[in-house]
Structure 1
Amino acid sequence: MIMAVIGLGRMGAAIGYRAVQAGYQVLGYDMNADACNHAQELGIQPYHTMSSMVGSAQVIWIMVPAGNPVDNVLQEIIPHLMPGAIVIDGGNSKFSDSIARAKMMHNKGFAYLDCGTSGGVYGKEKGFCLMVGGDLRAYQTVMPLLKAIAAPDGVAHVGPSGAGHYVKMVHNAIEYAMLDAYAQGFQLLKEGSFAQYNLDLARISDLWNHGAVIRSWILELTHTVLARDQKLEHVGGQVEQTGTGRWALEDAHGHNIPVPIIEQSIKTRDWSMATGGNYATKIVALLRNAFGGHTFIKK
């Protein structure tokens, strides 16, 4: 089975690398020449055009920004796909878009899987969590490849078309709230009743990860961030968002499901962009950089 990866950024290149390490032949395309050169160093064979590449691969993995970029890729590659090709959208597409794309691809004779992908910059070495929606038979066909890309026990078929991106959307909304909870707690430790004693936040974050109820990977990353710098005077507090959290809020409102914690975390990000944020949002910005490579503002 040959896989072609369209979009060779951090995640796309890492996904291709894991497939290469498992013995698969992986082709790759990106508009950025540096990304192609880096991918080639990882064992991925770069191509200059998508159309010349996709006809040689049974599986096409799309890793580009949500929205029009995905549609543009599909329009370009459909005429060149081999019969029976399986297309996987591994980005953060809106679930309703994925449902529509799956129907369109089915009508043209191709399977389309929507794959929520989590793992960030650590996924290259540790494997990704893959939440897959779509045709079960197509999923079973690519299961060996997906297992090679995923962390141990880190892949599952979660439902029909759209379900993979829906589950990832909810995952990201939970992530928003969890980041805020940790960050606000550490702001309270820094600026609350014991502010004059300059509590060692790095020591506390490490302590909590040894037996405390709130221990987690996010807390491990928080310790890493605070061990480098606890003042954060040279970090901007603006926290961007990809849209998945807001989509989750829209869906919750549409079904009359209260999600006040998630809703407040979205409002906090909006507030941080308008005002520059505070100590807590600085921590969130640094955590997003730590697990996902997202940029943050340096002062």
Structure 2
Amino acid sequence: MQLGLIGLGKMGGNMAARLREKGHEVVGFDRDPAVRDVGSIADLVDRLAAPRLVWVMVPAGGPTAETVRELGSLLSPGDIVVDGGNSHYVDDRAHAEELAERGVHYIDAGVSGGVWGRQNGYGIMVGGAAEDVERARPVFDALTPDEGGGFVHAGSVGAGHFVKMVHNGIEYGMMQAFAEGYEIMAASDIVDDVPGTFDSWREGTVVRSWLLDLLVNALRDDPELAGLRGYAQDSGEGRWTVQAAIDHAVPAPAITAALFARFASRQDDSPAMKVVAALRNQFGGHAVTKAEGDPAVPE
């Protein structure tokens, strides 16, 4: 197939490369002149034969909305826009309705695989009309793993980004569990080989996973993770997953705690823990200054 791809960063650039390796013709646009094939989105649309397929791979929110709006003014009835970024699922219906006024179709696609996707294939989760998904299916097949799997048409518009959101929420919880396990073992006086323990879990255990493989890779490079700060940003999808759990009255304590742990990682000196320290000092005399460690005194 021929398609346009807007956004050639870490994800988009690797996706374009994989598609080309699979025999598809990709016309790419990016703000960086060094990586783009055309000078503008209008030029990209002009290069594509109708009916067109344009995949958007730009940051969620304003950049995606602006790109969809511009495409709506340039594309023709019967063309398809695929939003493959990490957009909030509630935005998808608005984008679809905006494009539908001009006869342009819309698919939302959650994409997982990170920087390894070009080599291993991506997980693709889509929402949209069945006939639109079928038209774009050769592109999805090229992006997903060669051995099969990795694709789901999850439902109508918004469903793709919704299930990708939940996927990322689950990812938060899994990463936090590995992180806590690491800290517990590292803090003990009985485990001599923490990296080797994680490595041993990669075969035959119920916690073996790609995330575990990646953790082992990181520990091989830096066994004590001394070169990293204990700081973790969140993409927004963890927050959206927690909000969806609240909206649907679904208990999600593991995902919620993992999200809050990321918030805590950004505090050099937690205001909340200062309050806890102050209260412990008030009722138990457990005074701790910044220069001291907190003694293990029973409360």
Matches within 5 A, 1:161-240: 161-194=157-190, 199-240=192-233
C-alpha distance in structure 2 between counterparts of 1:181 and 1:53, whole Å = 44
For residues 208 and 227 of structure 2, the distance between their equivalents in structure 1, rounded to whole angstroms, comes to 28
Residue 156 of structure 2 corresponds to 160
After TM superposition, give the deviation of residue 276 of structure 1 in Å.
Answer: 8.0
In our comparison, the structure showing a higher alpha carbon Rg is 2
Q: Which has the higher contact order (CA 8 A, sep 6+)?
A: 1
SS in structure 1 opposite 2:149?
A: strand
Q: How many angstroms apart in 2 are the aligned matches of 1:56 and 1:168?
A: 31
What CA distance in whole angstroms lies between the structure 2 residues aligned with 1:114 and 1:264? 28
1:56 counterpart (43, 47, 56):
47
Contact 1:127/1:150, CA 8 A, preserved across alignment: yes
Unmatched runs of 5 consecutive residues or more in structure 2:
271-299
C-alpha contact 2:76 2:102 (8 A) present in aligned 1? no
Instruction: Tell me the equivalent position of 2:5.
Output: 5
Would you say the 8 A contact 1:95–1:162 is kept in 2? Answer: yes
| Aligned residue in 2 for 1:70 | 64
Letter in 1 for 2:11: M
Which secondary structure state, in structure 1, belongs to the residue aligned with residue 14 of structure 2? helix
Equivalences for 1:128-147 in 2 at 5 Å? 128-147=122-141
Q: Which residue is equivalent to 1:23?
A: 23
Q: Could you give the per-residue CA deviations for residues 184-209 of structure 1, whole angstroms, max 9, x where no partner exists?
A: 10111100242xx5x21221111111
Structure 1 residue 80 displacement after superposition: 1.7
**Residue 256 of structure 2 aligns with which residue?**
263
* Runs of at least 5 residues in structure 1 that lack an aligned partner in the other structure: 37-45, 278-299
TM-score by length of 1: 0.85
Deviations 1:227-265 (A, max 9, x none): 111222231111000100101101111111110111101
Shift of 1:67: 0.5
Structure having the larger proportion of residues in helix: 1
- Contact 2:12 2:57 survives alignment (8 Å): yes
Kindly state the Cα deviation for residue 82 of structure 1 after the two structures are TM-superposed: 3.5
Matches within 5 A, 1:90-105: 90-105=84-99
Deviations 1:72-121 (CA, angstroms, capped at 9, x unpaired): 11222222214311100000000000121112212220110000000001
Instruction: Work out the CA distance in 2 between the residues paired with 1:55 and 1:157.
Output: 30
For residues 214 and 244 of structure 1, what CA distance do their matches in structure 2 show?
Answer: 23
Letter of the 2:59 partner, please give it: P
The residue aligned with 2:116 is: 122
Q: Is residue 2:78 matched to residue 1:84?
A: yes
Q: Contact (CA 8 Å) 2:19, 2:143: kept in 1 or not?
A: yes
Provide the aligned length of Structure 1 versus Structure 2: 265
| Distance of 1:232 and 1:119 partners within structure 2 | 23
